[in-house]
């Protein structure tokens, strides 16, 4: 049995053969950079106006002669002399010898002249060439996910294509004779296939190809055939069949067939019966069947490993400090991850017990957005206690 940190280190130390491909920037959203990025030209690439106004060469008078205009994208700009100006739109090119840009609301225009209220300071309202980034400057790191902010920045850079990591292929299957699909008629004593959709909904945010292999009865021969196809995937994950029951065939097969067992049970609650095995280049995660235990293992172990397999540099979970808004209970000799509803109050995360921590319960995950780490030696923690919180959504 492995402690939480030990299991994390084992997974972190697995050597992966990450492959790369070159994609057009248009196709690179939500992919992971496999190279560092450097600018191809300075930003801005010339002097540009920060406002709608008049670029001018200053002199000792407040009246200036208008010599033309400059709009964004127009490479032409008038050559200015002392006492002259041109109208410039925001983002328009400013002549090299212009001293400043004065805002339209700060001048009075009549015919081909303007009268400024007061002389501007030199350099005002001008964005200088290269003031954001010079040419060949680093702006994006290998291992970064091209998400809803970094991807538009990549487009802004003017790059045509980029080197990214290939998506890992992930196979998913569930076991159990009692599984119903959402939309099936209710049958007493049966359960609806939740774990498939927990997994798929979480992985939708990552650059991975997910294949649902299917739902299989508790039949050793059928499950063995699925596991034999592990070489078709980078990661294969199962739900159920890894505990101590008579029909827990995933565990039996992983032990008896040609698989390298690297994790066999962990000292956490819920979700202790986790198995991780290796077969050539595939990593196999045998997860418990209860949705609460399955989800906890996903957040703690599986998602960081998938992020690593996608090439994401900072793949580890983010843990924050907060305090308890209600008391929370755990048992001695196991690290508990209690589900919690976390609210930001006076700028500080405050975690509330959602009402049940039973592994067999799951509906309160509808509102849960964090897991509170309850150290193995603490037992009950009172309201106001400082705790570590693993955010799982919306924080």
pLDDT at 52: 96
pLDDT at 218: 79
pLDDT at 246: 61
Helix boundaries (H) for 84-156: 150-156
Q: Which regions in the chain score pLDDT beneath 70?
A: 75-78, 241, 243-247, 395
pTM score, whole prediction: 0.89
- Residue 372 Cα to chain centre, angstroms: 21
Residue 342 sits at the vertex; the CA angle it makes with 341 and 347, to the nearest 5 degrees, is: 160
pLDDT at 245: 58
| 302: helix, strand or coil | helix
Q: Which residues pair with 116 in a beta bridge?
A: 107
- 26 secondary structure, DSSP code: G
pLDDT (tens digit per residue) in 102-156: 999 999 999 899 999 988 999 999 999 999 999 999 999 999 999 999 999 999 9
């Amino acid at each position: 049995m492995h402690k939480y940190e030990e299991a994390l280190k084992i997974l972190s130390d697995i050597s992966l053969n990450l492959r790369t491909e070159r994609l057009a920037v248009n196709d690179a959203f939500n992919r992971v950079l496999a190279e560092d990025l450097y600018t191809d030209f300075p930003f801005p690439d010339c002097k540009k106006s920060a406002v709608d106004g008049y670029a001018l060469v200053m002199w000792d008078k407040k009246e200036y002669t208008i010599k033309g205009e400059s709009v964004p994208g127009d490479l032409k700009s008038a050559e200015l002399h002392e006492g002259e100006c041109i109208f410039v739109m925001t983002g328009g090119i400013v002549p090299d010898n212009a001293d400043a840009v004065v805002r339209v609301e700060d001048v009075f225009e009549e015919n081909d002249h303007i009268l400024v209220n007061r002389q501007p300071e030199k350099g005002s309202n001008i964005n200088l060439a290269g003031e954001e980034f010079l040419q060949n400057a680093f702006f994006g790191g290998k291992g970064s996910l091209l998400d809803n902010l970094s991807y538009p920045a990549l487009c802004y850079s003017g790059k045509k294509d980029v080197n990214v990591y290939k998506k890992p292929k992930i196979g998913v299957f569930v076991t159990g004779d009692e599984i119903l699909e959402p939309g099936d008629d209710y049958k007493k004593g049966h359960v609806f296939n939740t774990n498939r959709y927990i997994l798929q909904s979480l992985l939708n945010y990552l650059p991975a190809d997910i294949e649902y292999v299917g739902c299989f009865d508790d039949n050793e021969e059928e499950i063995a055939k699925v596991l034999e196809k592990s070489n078709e995937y980078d990661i294969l994950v199962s739900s159920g069949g890894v505990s101590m029951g008579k029909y827990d065939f995933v565990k039996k097969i992983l032990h008896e067939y040609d698989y390298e067992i690297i994790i066999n049970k962990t000292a956490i609650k819920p979700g202790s019966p986790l198995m991780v095995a290796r077969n050539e280049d595939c990593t196999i995660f045998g997860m418990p069947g209860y949705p609460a235990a399955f989800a906890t293992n996903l957040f703690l172990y599986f998602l960081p490993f998938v992020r690593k397999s996608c090439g994401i540099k900072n793949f580890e979970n983010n843990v924050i400090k907060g305090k308890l808004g209600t008391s929370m209970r755990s048992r001695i000799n196991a690290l508990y991850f209690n589900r919690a509803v976390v609210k930001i109050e006076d700028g500080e995360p405050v975690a509330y017990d959602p009402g049940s921590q039973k592994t067999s319960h799951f509906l309160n995950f509808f509102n849960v957005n964090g897991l509170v780490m309850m150290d193995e030696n603490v037992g009950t923690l009172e309201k106001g206690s400082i705790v570590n919180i693993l955010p799982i959504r919306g924080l």
